[in-house]
């Protein structure tokens, strides 16, 4: 450990105690930065041996420099450590500083320590990885890597060269063995596959073809002709059960058809299937007695509907591609009666389906609702529609004018928005109690407008 002036203050090992390192660049770099500083090859004055030194600044809590911690590593240690690594046969390695001076080499040559790199196998400009041939024509690979680099771009590098011939020969031999084993396996698999395919597919297919020929003649094959393969045997059983399955399906279809016909007959609507000429192919349901027909089973649309209406429906059906809903009225002794016709064209045929429905009551209800809406919207009395919990669904214009609230402001709120301090809680409970029990309440209430006026 040294002080800020470079004077040695504490040492764990060394022959010389009175040493000043203020002239060393690694010391200068350490006190000018905040990180580990790497030195160069040098003859250390403390241990009296070649070394490479590292320095790290000691900073107190107030960010003041108190000293520098210096680590002195003898090159002899570097050399021993490098040579104890298990590098491949024929490999060479060098560790060098930023000046290109050798700090350690493999195989160990102590006389090279501290000298410039002269072996051209390690001299490949700034390339980090390259393949080359040495003086003996042996293919080698060169790799250079940075072990550590400090903030001042001082670094320790390792250079490695390795012969590739032995690896290539070994890889080639292994590749040839792999190819031989692969083709041998292919031949064995092909022979086994041929036998399996013959027994599992070709022979069962031939047996299935023979069984199919016998079935085509209307005969059932004997058990000995049935395929041995489980898959093809299952397929054969499907052929054998095909007739029974089809009859069963047809019976189910007829049952569903009868069920649908019964449903259509039970509906209060009239179901008609007809062609573009108006000829009725099928009719189900109830024919309204208000329609002009004297025939229980009419043959033509004109026997059910007036001529003008029938011609309009057939004209629409001739051009129809999608579902169409048509409303019309028929003059009867009871007056005008409204009907609805839903027309659906059947794809790929010149036929269509018509569903006739009596909508006279719906029209009456719509008119009554429209009239009620007119009364509601044009009434001079304030009206509000709420749910059983008092949440407002809708209000009329008179309500907005009286309370000064817009429809959007009150919708979704309860009637409590209008409450004033003129009535007690029991008063409002009595109102809702009467509404819930009798369906009505009548009386006077003092409510509060939007601007808090009464």
Alpha-carbon distance of 293 to 284, in angstroms, equals 15
The superfamily in CATH containing domain 267-364 is PAS domain (3.30.450.20)
Position 21 confidence tier, pLDDT thresholds 50, 70, 90 = confident
CA angle 210, 211, 217 (to 5 degrees): 95
Per-domain residue ranges for the chain?
229-260, 267-364, 380-454
- pLDDT over 90, % of the chain: 1
What pLDDT, on the 0 to 100 scale, is given for residue 138?
Answer: 80
Specify the DSSP class assigned to residue 217: T
Q: Per residue in 292-330, pLDDT tens?
A: 566 667 888 888 888 888 888 888 888 877 788 888 888
Alpha helices in 267-359 (DSSP H): 307-319
Q: Which residue has the higher pLDDT, 352 or 211?
A: 352
Residue whose C-alpha is closest to residue 73's, from 95, 97, 49? 49
Tally of CB atoms within 10 A around 55: 25
0.85 surpassed by pTM: no
Taking domain 380-454, whether its CATH number is 3.30.450.20 is answered by: yes
- Predicted local distance difference test score (pLDDT) of residue 9: 79
Q: Fold identical between 267-364 and 380-454? A: yes
Residues 6 or more apart whose CB falls under 8 angstroms from that of 134 comprise: 121, 140
Around Cβ 103, how many Cβ atoms within 10 Å? 24
**pLDDT band, residue 351 (cuts 50/70/90):** confident
């Amino acid at each position: 450990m040294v002080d800020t002036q470079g004077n040695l203050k504490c040492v764990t090992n060394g022959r010389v105690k009175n040493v000043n390192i203020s002239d060393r660049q690694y010391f200068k770099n350490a006190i000018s930065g905040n990180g580990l500083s790497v030195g160069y090859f040098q003859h250390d004055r403390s241990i009296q041996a070649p070394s490479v030194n590292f320095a790290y600044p000691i900073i107190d809590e107030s960010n003041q420099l108190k000293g520098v911690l210096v680590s002195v590593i003898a090159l002899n240690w570097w050399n021993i450590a490098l040579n104890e690594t298990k590098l491949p046969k024929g490999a060479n390695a060098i560790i060098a500083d930023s000046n290109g001076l050798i700090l350690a080499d493999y195989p160990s040559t102590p006389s090279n320590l501290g000298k410039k790199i002269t072996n051209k196998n390690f001299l490949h400009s700034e390339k980090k990885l390259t393949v080359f041939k040495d003086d003996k024509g042996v293919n080698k690979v060169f790799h250079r890597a940075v072990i550590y680099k400090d903030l001042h771009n001082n670094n320790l590098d390792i250079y490695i060269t390795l012969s590739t011939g032995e690896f290539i020969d070994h890889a080639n031999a292994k590749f040839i063995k792999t190819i031989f084993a692969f083709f041998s396996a292919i031949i064995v698999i092909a022979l086994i596959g041929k036998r399996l395919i013959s027994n599992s597919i070709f022979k069962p297919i031939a047996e299935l073809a023979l069984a199919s020929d016998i079935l085509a003649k209307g005969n059932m094959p004997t058990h000995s002709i049935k395929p041995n393969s489980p898959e093809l045997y299952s397929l054969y059983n499907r052929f054998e059960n095909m007739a029974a399955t089809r009859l069963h399906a047809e019976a189910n279809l007829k049952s569903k058809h009868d069920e649908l016909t019964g449903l259509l007959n039970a509906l209060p609507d009239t179901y008609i299937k007809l062609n573009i000429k108006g000829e009725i192919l099928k009719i189900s349901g109830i024919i309204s007695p208000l329609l002009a027909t004297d025939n229980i089973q009419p043959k033509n649309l004109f026997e059910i509907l007036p001529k003008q209406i029938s011609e309009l429906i057939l004209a629409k059906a001739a051009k129809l591609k999608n579902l169409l809903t048509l409303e019309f009225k028929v003059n009867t002794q009871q007056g005008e009666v409204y009907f609805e016709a839903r027309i659906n064209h059947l794809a790929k045929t010149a036929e269509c389906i018509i569903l006739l429905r009596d909508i006279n009551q719906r029209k009456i209800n719509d008119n009554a609702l429209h009239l009620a809406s007119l009364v509601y919207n044009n009434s001079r009395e304030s009206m509000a529609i709420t749910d059983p919990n008092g949440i407002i669904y809708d209000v009329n214009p008179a309500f907005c004018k009286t309370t000064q609230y817009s429809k959007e402001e009150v919708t979704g709120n309860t009637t409590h928005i209008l409450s004033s301090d003129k009535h007690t809680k029991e008063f409002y409970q009595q109102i809702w109690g009467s509404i819930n029990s009798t369906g009505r309440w009548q009386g006077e209430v003092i409510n509060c407008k939007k601007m808090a006026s009464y």
